[in-house]
Amino acid sequence: MDNIDLISSFSEFKDSKLIDRVTLMAILEDVFRSALKRKYGEDENFDIIINPDKGDLEIWRNRVVVEDGEVENPNREIALSDARKIEPDFEVDEDVSEEVKLSDLGRRAILALRQNLISKIREHDNANIYKQFKDLEDEIYTAEIHHVRRNVVILLDDEGNELILPKRNQIPSDFYRKGDSIRGIIESVELKGSKPVITFSRTSPVFLEKLFEQEIPEIFDGLIDVKRVARIPGEKAKVAVDSYDDRIDPVGACVGMKGSRIHGIVRELGNENIDVINYTNNTKLFIARALSPAHVKDIKINEETKHAEVYLEPEEVSKAIGRGGHNIRLAGQITGYELDVVREGQEEDVELKEFSDEIEAWVIEEFSRIGLDTAKSVLEKTVEDLVKMTDLEEETILEVRSILKEEFED
């Protein structure tokens, strides 16, 4: 392979990878200088002239003429007799520039040189892709489904960049079909080796927040601010909003007439039920709003432990907890408080922790997680409901109910 053939093949990289001329020349020079260092031990006395557009490449080695027998550094110095073979009128101390052909480097060096170039080009591309997508983190992005696997969906964007959508970032109700376009956010961009790994997400609360920004003009214009978002992907979400203009109802603006504005977001998220609530710095009021549609009678807060006891009439408890415990869990997430439900007017009820000798602590904690912290609150639910709401086996639930029933029978 001669100089022109090699540099012409390098030009193919420029065309296919869309590398600008200056960058390509810098990469080519760096690759050639690495090859010269391996061959001659150094490269400072070499001039490399590259014109990738025309396929021209010249390498010149500069040496100083010394008397025969006085050459100490063959790369930097040339004997007078050897210099005169190049041009007969050379004298001692003059500079000699001699062209180096690629063939002088040897076939193995040429193959290594080409491989080094491919590696450098890939590093350049990967660095550009990494920077491009790093700047897009937490932004909405659209890509096409390329391949569906058991635990991951592979996506390609319009430029052929690969994105991965792991199982944990997929809405459970989503159906993925090759060729379909989907929206999500760029969750993270990491380098594994030199290759950027771009992770896509449809379950992130940030995705919901960005959808609100796209679909609600007042949010896009900065008149309404999305303060907090909590999600159980595909099931339920709560979004707290605030307005900088007292004339604007932030909840009404987000929901729209008969839900017209929020319907598109709900459909995008697989019919995820979205509650929009007014944000406030008043903690008690914020917790009460977060537990909607339940009506709260009173709230006692412990700021040190970020714990709140919420007092409710018995008929309001199921509303506060919600199907599968989703409502109270999201209320806790969006307010930042651990919420415990206390039923008003049921002094005869017994807290579950009183049964710690008979029921294991982790089982009591599981009931408490969904807002069931008294005996009657558990007994009011059917076995089927408790199986759905908790991570407990039916056998365990039946055993707990039996223990609780004995207490009241006694």
Dig out the tokens for 67 from the structure. Answer: 């008397």
Q: Judging by DSSP bridges, how do beta strands 77-79 and 56-66 pair with one another?
A: parallel
- What confidence tens digit (pLDDT) does each residue in 341-379 have? 887 755 567 788 878 888 888 988 888 888 888 888 888
Q: Which helix (H) or strand (E) holds 29?
A: helix 21-40
Q: Judging by DSSP bridges, how do beta strands 140-148 and 95-99 pair with one another?
A: unpaired
Q: Which helix (H) or strand (E) holds 236?
A: strand 236-243
Nearest to residue 164, comparing CAs of 137, 146, 178, 179? 146
Per-residue pLDDT of the chain (410 residues; tens, 9 = 90+): 444 455 555 555 555 455 666 777 777 778 888 888 888 888 888 888 877 666 567 888 899 988 888 888 888 888 988 888 888 888 889 898 888 887 777 677 667 777 777 777 777 778 888 999 999 999 999 999 999 998 999 999 998 899 999 999 999 989 999 999 999 999 999 988 878 999 999 999 999 999 999 999 999 999 999 999 999 999 999 999 999 888 899 999 999 888 889 999 999 999 999 999 999 999 999 999 999 999 999 999 999 999 999 998 888 888 898 888 899 999 999 999 999 888 775 556 778 887 888 888 898 888 888 888 888 888 888 888 888 888 888 999 999 888 888 776 65
Going from the C-alpha of 245 to that of each of 218, 219, 220, 275, 277, the distances in angstroms are: 10, 12, 14, 21, 16
- What confidence tens digit (pLDDT) does each residue in 8-32 have? 555 555 554 556 667 777 777 788 8
Give CA–CA dist 105/37, Å, rounded. 11
pTM, full prediction: 0.66
Query: What's the pLDDT score for residue 190?
Result: 92
Q: Are 280 and 289 in contact (CB under 8 A)?
A: yes
Give CA–CA dist 267/391, Å, rounded. 28
Nearest to residue 13, comparing CAs of 26, 29, 2, 24? 24
Q: Are 199 and 155 in contact (CB under 8 A)?
A: no
Which domains are present in the chain?
Answer: 3-131 (3.30.1480), 138-201 (2.40.50.140), 204-279 (3.30.300.20)
345 Rama sector, left if φ>0, alpha if ψ -120 to 50, beta otherwise: left
Q: Which residues, 6+ apart, have CB-to-CB distance to 79 below 8 Å?
A: 65, 66, 67, 68, 69, 70, 71
Buried residues in 56-87 as b, exposed as e (16+ CB within 10 A): ebebebebbbbeeeebeeebbbbbbebbeeee
